[in-house]
Homo-oligomer: A and B are copies of this chain.
Amino acid sequence: MTPEQIRTTLDAYVDALAQADRNAWVELFAPDAVQIDPVGTPANVGRDAIRAFWDRAMGLADTIVFDVHHLHVCGDEAAMVFTGTVRLGDGGMVFEAVDIIEFDDAGQITQLRAYWDAGAMRPLG
């Protein structure tokens, strides 16, 4: 994995969220990937569990836009610092977060750990 490949995968990750494209998003994960969002809650292991997380946590949103402030690529890992904006009907919320993401040689995500504080979410607008 080159830093460019990692950046390309994460661009696709952000695009899939913005377009609410569940399949494109799930397929960026390796079949046996581990996803934890937020850290401190149980892990979702494998694409079926990750797809179920989408349905539970993200499927209700109209759009989820990540405004990426920094992307630090270190070896086969990356730290993505972003502001997330979730829109739902006339409202929504904004949150600050960090995703720590690990990749395999094929460029798929093997682990994603999301750090954010539900108490620090703020209403949109």
Contact = CB atoms under 8 A, between A and B. Distances in A.
> Chain A interface: which size bin?
20 to 34
A74 interface: yes
A74 B36 CA distance: 11
Interface string A93-123: 0001110100000000000010111001000
A96 B115 contact: no
Given A70-B96, A98-B98, A115-B100, A40 B75 contact: yes
A49 interface: no
The prevalent SS among residues of A at the interface is strand
A40 B103 CA distance: 13
A73 B40 CA distance: 9
Query: 9 closest pairs, A vs B, by CB?
Result: A40-B75, A79-B115, A39-B74, A72-B115, A79-B98, A40-B74, A38-B74, A70-B96, A74-B115
Given A40-B77, A72-B115, A81-B96, 12 more contacts: A39-B77, A72-B96, A72-B97, A72-B116, A72-B117, A72-B120, A73-B117, A78-B115, A79-B98, A98-B98, A100-B113, A100-B115
